[in-house]
């Protein structure tokens, strides 16, 4: 990993360089803020370890400049200073710093903080790879728009609401919330294995076609399970496989592919099932118009305990305002957010292909 070390004190700079290089990082070195800024623009290191007080361009100014110009490739910034006062620390965080370390520092502390930075950046890379894979599947379905973005945000809102109400009893801890945001976009990844004549059919599927469409759950599961077998400790892969296989199960046992019921369905899949159904109801397809939020809420309320886990449905009703905000935030240009005559259209929640 490429890391930029910045300090106007040569002894501190040497120590920072030595400790960082011992972790296997490719180390770039700058003696002041201006040199560091030029180096960052040209080399784009993933981590910056910078002194706080420097002539011309100090650590705060360098941090602010990086944050304004970094784009999609996040830079993890650790501030180094003799200052350990709360006000200065807050100023560093407000400028965009991720962590800080005070002088005199030792190797163990610096290494520990650099490892935190590595974990954060690896998570971002993992997120980008997962989302790219999900977009590959989505790219074959011309009607879905910003579906993936909405699904991941709906799923996180539901999980956060469940955690706030029921806490540890549900297992919805911070890692679960992070993983469902990361992996929920993969729910339909198995659609890459469905023939175009079915996936892109401009109308409802017949019974034989729908049986083929159902196989996207198994195809997605098998693909993700292969990745899990190569990395059995990766909880996010386990969750993504569960979601891919079970997000079309129903709480009453009438879903597919395994006809699981109740809590036999993984919680992650029960959450994504509602998020996916809500988005399908609200979205226009070649075979149906978009329905409004009130209609979607009515369908979810009616189907709580049959199609949907009642606990997840309750979380939805507690978070309706956030669902509306997400829906409006991730709209494609020209897509109507309301349906003028929702009563004339029906949504068959037990057999939707979405």
Annotate 288-314 with b (16+ C-beta within 10 A) or e (fewer): bebbbbebbbebbeebbeebbbebbbb
The average pLDDT across 118-135 equals: 73
- Residues of the chain with pLDDT > 70, as a percent, come to 86
From 3.40.50.1820, 2.60.40.420, 1.10.3210.10, 1.10.3720.10, which CATH number describes the 139-344 domain?
Answer: 1.10.3210.10
At 18-43, the pLDDT tens digits run 999 999 999 999 999 999 999 999 99
Q: Tokens representing 214?
A: 């159902």
Picking from 134, 122, 99, the residue whose alpha carbon sits closest to that of residue 243 is: 134
Query: Could you read off the pLDDT of 312-351 as tens digits, one per residue?
Result: 999 999 999 999 999 998 886 544 332 222 232 333 443 3
Structure token digits, residue 72: 């999609």
**Residue-range domain boundaries for the chain:** 2-119, 139-344
Single pTM value for the model: 0.64
Q: What is the largest CA-CA distance in the chain?
A: 76
CATH number of the structural domain 2-119:
3.40.50.2300
Model pLDDT, residue 184: 94
Rounded to the nearest 10 degrees, the angle between the axes of helix 174-183 and helix 267-282 is 50
**Average pLDDT of the chain, as a whole number:** 86
Say what the pLDDT of residue 92 is: 84
């Amino acid at each position: 990993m490429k890391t930029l070390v910045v300090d106007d004190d040569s002894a501190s700079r040497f120590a920072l360089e030595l400790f960082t290089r011992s972790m296997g990082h490719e180390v770039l070195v700058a003696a002041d803020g201006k040199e560091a800024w030029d180096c960052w623009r040209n080399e784009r290191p993933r981590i910056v370890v910078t002194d706080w007080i420097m002539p011309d361009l100090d650590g705060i100014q360098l941090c602010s400049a990086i944050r304004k110009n970094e784009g999609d490739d996040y830079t993890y910034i650790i501030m180094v200073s003799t200052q350990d006062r709360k006000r200065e620390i807050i100023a560093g965080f407000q400028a965009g710093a991720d962590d800080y370390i005070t002088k005199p520092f030792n190797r163990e502390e610096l290494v520990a903080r650099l490892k935190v930075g590595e974990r954060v950046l690896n998570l971002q890379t993992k997120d980008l790879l997962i989302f790219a894979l999900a977009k590959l599947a989505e790219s074959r379905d011309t009607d879905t728009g910003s579906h993936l973005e909405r699904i991941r945000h709906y799923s996180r809102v539901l999980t956060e609401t469940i955690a706030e109400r029921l806490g540890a009893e549900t297992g919805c801890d911070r890692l679960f919330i992070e993983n469902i945001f990361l992996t929920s976009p993969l729910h339909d990844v198995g659609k890459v294995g469905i023939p175009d004549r079915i996936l892109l059919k401009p109308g409802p599927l017949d019974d034989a076609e729908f049986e083929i469409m159902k196989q996207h759950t198994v195809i997605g599961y098998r693909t993700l399970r292969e990745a899990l077998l190569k990395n059995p400790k990766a909880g996010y892969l386990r969750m993504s496989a569960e979601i891919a296989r079970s997000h079309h199960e129903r709480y009453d046992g009438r879903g597919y592919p395994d006809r699981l019921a109740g809590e036999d369905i993984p919680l992650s899949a029960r959450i994504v099932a509602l998020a996916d159904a809500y988005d399908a109801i609200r979205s226009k397809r070649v075979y149906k118009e978009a329905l409004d939020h009130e209609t979607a809420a009515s369908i979810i309320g009616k189907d709580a305990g049959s199609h949907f886990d009642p606990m997840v449905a309750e979380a939805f009703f507690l978070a309706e305002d956030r669902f509306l905000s997400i829906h409006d935030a991730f709209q494609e240009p020209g897509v109507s957010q309301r349906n003028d005559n929702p009563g004339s259209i029906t949504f068959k929640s037990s057999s939707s292909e979405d």
